[in-house]
Amino acid sequence: MHRFLSYLIDMIIPPQCAICHAPVSTNFFPACDACISSFVAHDFLFCPQCGNRIITLSSPCHKNAGYILGAATLFSFPAAQTLIHALKYKHEEYASAVIGKILAEYFLRTCPEFISDSCIIVPVPTSKTHLRKRGYNQAERIARAFARNAGLHQSAVRDHLIKKIRTTRSQTECATVRERAENIKDSFAINPNEEIRGKDIIIIDDVHTTGATMRELARILNTHSARKILALVFAKT
């Protein structure tokens, strides 16, 4: 079924690279070899508080940060910016396949020990307003592509575990770190039907900038007794 669907979509929409628009073989991985090789992929994790490199999940330099940060590449690379822009603002949904694959390869290279029976993948939620405008949550699309490429079952993706309970301004509209934190504060809530006590959580998003959104999500998850939290993003600033 997947192969037939891929063939059908490729017949309707000529496959092209989401970055440079060169012809490619399929829309289910819309990136050419040249563009993929242009990414400088990381081989380490990060402390979200000071930005220092972390070699293993068990060696954070700031234990009170609330989570460990994983970022596959840097947002400063033009190819990374193009992919994220295509997914978030140009409705090129299949760019998530490229981002998810790169993210999975980074994850398996740096912290495969995070995979367990208690592992839950949580896409950063979006508001109903933004969902209607875009038609999909880009973090959810990335999360599903990530799970597929990391060998995790799609049932591990819990896109309803955390809800966005109020609409906020885009974080890009906030001028300062403090303003971002205030903008996102108390805008999320745990679904009462979900149990996360003792679970390992992977939060998925496209970009990590000041970390205001991840800190707020980690705060809520830690309040509900999550065991370990890994914030996994495609790119960091």
In three state form, how does the secondary structure of the chain look?
CHHHHHHHHHHHCCCECCCCCCECCCCCCCCCHHHHHCCCCCCCEECCCCCCEECCCCCCCCHHHCCEEEEEEECCCHHHHHHHHHHHHCCCCCHHHHHHHHHHHHHHHHCHHHCCCCEEEEECCCCHHHHHHHCCCHHHHHHHHHHHHHCCCHHHECCCCEEECCCCCCHHHCCCHHHHHHHHCCCEEECCCCCCCCCEEEEEEEEECCCHHHHHHHHHHHHCCCCEEEEEEEEEC
41, 72 Cβ separation under 8 angstroms:
yes
pTM above 0.85, yes or no: yes
Average pLDDT, stretch 205-221? 96
Q: Which of 99, 107, 111 is nearest to 142 (CA)?
A: 99
Q: What is the spatial distance between Cα 97 and Cα 93, in angstroms, rounded to a whole number?
A: 8
Residue 3 confidence (pLDDT) above 60: no
Average pLDDT, stretch 35-48? 90
Q: At 7, is the pLDDT very low, low, confident or very high (cuts 50, 70, 90)? A: low
Q: What is the spatial distance between Cα 209 and Cα 211, in angstroms, rounded to a whole number?
A: 5
According to DSSP, the β-strands at 53-54 and 200-208 are unpaired
| The predicted structure's pLDDT at residue 128 | 85
Q: How far is CA 76 from CA 21, 62, 125, 209, in A?
A: 20, 25, 24, 11
Domains parsed from the chain with CATH numbers = 1-38 (no CATH), 39-168+178-236 (3.40.50.2020)
For residue range 54-72, what is the model confidence (pLDDT) as tens digits? 988 877 788 888 999 999 9
Q: Which of 201, 205, 188 is nearest to 67 (CA)?
A: 201
Q: What is the spatial distance between Cα 220 and Cα 1, in angstroms, rounded to a whole number?
A: 39
| The predicted structure's pLDDT at residue 4 | 54
Average pLDDT, stretch 175-181? 90
